[in-house]
Amino acid sequence: MMIDLKDPVFVADPYPFLARLRAEEKPIWHEDLGIYLAATHKDASEVLRNKSLGRIYIDREPVADWKTFNWLHSESILESEPPKHTRLRGLISKAFNRNRIESLRPKIEEIVGELLTELTTSGPTFDLISNYAEPLPVRIIAELLGFPRSEEHLLRPWSQAIVKMYEVSPSEAVQQEARKAAAEFSQYVHDLMLTRKSNPGSDLISELAQVEEAGERLSTNELIATCVLLLNAGHEASVNGFGNGMVALLNNQDQRELLFKAPEKHSDTAVEEFLRFDSPLQLFERTAIEDVEISGVKIHEGEKIASLLGAANRDGRVFDNPDSMDITRSPNPHISFGGGIHFCIGAPLARLEMSIALPALIKRFPNLKLSNEPKRRDSFTLRGYERVEVSKN
C-alpha cells in the first residue's frame, strides 16, 4: 500500500494508516521513497538490531555546499557503524555516564523550579512547549556542555534548522537554513572546545577533549559532532515526548484524573506511556550492508529499510489496547529510543528530565487544562507540537 508521509491528513494522525501497514505483517516497499517500511514491533525491532543493516551516511551534494553539514553527520556516533561506532561510543560513554547523568538531578530540579515560578507569576495561560517542555532540556544540555547561559537562546534554532532535514523532501529554504545552522553551530562548539582545552572545566566538552581509551581520543570533528548530536537528539525526545504525552493526557479525562490524583505514584510509568502512545521519533532508517531477509522479504545489499517506531509501539501483538493511553502500563516494551547499538545514548537523561518535570508541573498546577487547540508541527519523522496553550485554572 502507498502512504504519503507529507499528506497533512497523515501527519495529523498517522496511526490509522500505520495500522494498515502493520496488518501486512511484513516490510512493505514504498516506491516514491525508495525504501522498505517495517511497521510491526517484531520487524521494526529487527531493523534496529540486525547486524546486516547499517546506519550509512551518504554525503549531500554538492559536497562544497554541504561540507560542514556532511561531516557533522559522518563523524557522529549516530551515523557510524563498528568499528568506528564502537570506538566513539566507548569514548563518549566514559564521559557521559550514569553517574554524570544522575549528578544532574539537583540542577534539573532547580531549573524546573525556576520555570514553574516564572509561570506562576505570569498570566492565566502559557505555552507548555516554549515556556516549559522546551527550555528545560535545552538548559540542561547547555549546563552539561558548559554553554554560557546568556547564549542558550542560540541553541534551539540551530538544532531545529538541522533536524528539519530529516523530514521527507525538505524545501530549498529548509536546506539553506540547515547549511547555515551547521556552519554556525559547529564553529561555536569549536571555539568553546579550544577555550576548554587550554582552560578545562568540569563540563562535558572539557572531559570529552581529554577522555582517552587504549590511546584513542576523539578527533576535533568527532568531538564537535558529538556535542551537536547531544543537543539535537538530547532535547528533541524530551520536548516532543512530553508535549505529545501531555496533549493526549489532557484529552483523556480518566487518565488525567488518575495521574493528577497521584503524580508521584504514576509519573515513571506515565513517562513511558507518553513515549509509547505518540512517539517523538517515528522513523529510523538503515541500509543493508549485505542481503538480509526480514519476515520473508529479502532486502538486497544497498537497499534501505526504515523502522517505524510509532507503528511498532501500537502493535496489538505486544501491547493490550494499543490505541488507548494507559499511564499505569507495565511492562511497556516500547522502542521509542531505538534499539541495538544505536539505542539513544541520551535516553537516561531524557527519562530523568521528564520524570522530574511531570509531577512538579501537576503539583504546581492541579487544574491544568488545554485552553486552545494545540498546533502540531508539520512533520512526521520528528513528531511534536509547535504550541500547546494551557490554562492554569
pLDDT band at 151 (very low <50, low <70, confident <90, very high): confident
Would you call 360 a catalytic residue per the annotation?
Answer: no
What per-residue confidence (pLDDT) applies to 232?
A: 83
For the record, the C-alpha cell of 114 comes out as: 525556576
pLDDT band at 1 (very low <50, low <70, confident <90, very high): low
Average pLDDT of the chain? 94
For residue 14, the model assigns a pLDDT of 97
Helix (H, G, I), strand (E, B) or coil at 329: coil
Alpha carbons 126 and 75: distance in angstroms, whole number: 39
Q: Catalytic one among 46, 143, 177, 236?
A: 236
Residues 6+ apart with CB under 8 A from 365: 119, 390, 392
Q: What is the pLDDT of residue 149?
A: 85
Given 161, 181, 233, 350, the catalytic residue: 233
Catalytic residue list contains 238: yes
Pairing outcome for strands 28-30 and 35-38: antiparallel
Which among 206, 238, 336, 379 is annotated as catalytic? 238
Q: Can you spell out the DSSP letters for 104-162? A: THHHHHHHHHHHHHHHHTS-SEEETIIIIITHHHHHHHHHHHT--GGGGGGHHHHHHHH
Contact 75, 219 (CB under 8 A): yes
Active-site hit among 19, 248, 344, 347: 344
pLDDT bin (cut points 50, 70, 90) of residue 83 is very high
- Max mean pLDDT among 108-122, 144-158, 199-213 falls in 108-122
pLDDT digits (tens, 9 = 90+) for 39-76: 999 999 999 999 999 998 999 999 999 999 999 999 99
pLDDT score at 393? 86
pLDDT at residue 212 in the model: 79
Q: Is 233 a catalytic residue?
A: yes
Say what the pLDDT of residue 168 is.
80
Residue from 79, 222, 273, 353 carrying the catalytic annotation? 353
pLDDT in tens, 244-294: 999 999 999 999 999 999 999 999 999 999 999 999 999 999 999 999 999
Residues in contact with 24: Cβ distance below 8 Å, sequence separation at least 6, in sequence order: 1, 39
pLDDT in tens, 218-254: 999 999 999 999 888 778 889 999 999 999 999 999 9
- CATH domain 8-391 topology: Cytochrome p450 (1.10.630)
80 is an active site residue: no
β-bridge mates for residue 285, sequence order: 306
SS3 (DSSP) at 29: strand
What is the domain partition of the chain in residue ranges? 8-391
